[in-house]
């Protein structure tokens, strides 16, 4: 599985490890920041909390991943990755 992803992304093993680390740290940062943000707005974890949680995480995640990618040197990869994702979701026009 990892070898196929490495070949699909056309990266070295070191870059592959850095990309996976960025995904992990970015996701963790997103969950922490999003939870903190939602706890300021919604005091109880009821249905409203979970209905708001998903859109907030969807919005925060790209920013968190880009922020983490800067010190790991993977900004170029993640800008391209997020651009492709935006095109597939219809949020960005294909050039």
**pLDDT (tens digit per residue) in 71-94:** 999 999 999 888 888 888 877 777
Tokens of 33: 């920041």
Question: For position 46, what pLDDT does the model report?
Answer: 81
- Helix, coil or strand: residue 46: coil
**What are the strands, taking DSSP E only, across the chain?**
none
pTM: 0.80
* pLDDT value of residue 37: 86
Structure token digits, residue 70: 């800067």
State residue 76's pLDDT score. 93
Which pLDDT score, from 0 to 100, does residue 95 have? 65
Cα separation of the two ends of the chain: 31
Residue segments in the chain with a per-residue pLDDT below the cut of 70: 95
Q: Quickly count: other Cβ atoms within 10 Å of residue 38's Cβ.
A: 18
């Amino acid at each position: 599985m990892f070898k196929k992803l490495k070949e699909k992304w056309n990266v070295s093993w070191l870059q592959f490890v850095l990309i996976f680390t960025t995904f992990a740290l970015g996701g963790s940062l997103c969950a922490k920041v999003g939870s903190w943000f939602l706890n300021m707005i919604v005091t109880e974890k009821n249905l409203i909390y979970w209905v708001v949680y998903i859109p907030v995480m969807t919005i925060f995640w790209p920013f968190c991943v880009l922020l983490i990618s800067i010190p790991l040197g993977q900004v170029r990869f993640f800008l391209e990755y997020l651009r492709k994702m935006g095109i597939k979701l219809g949020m960005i026009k294909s050039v």
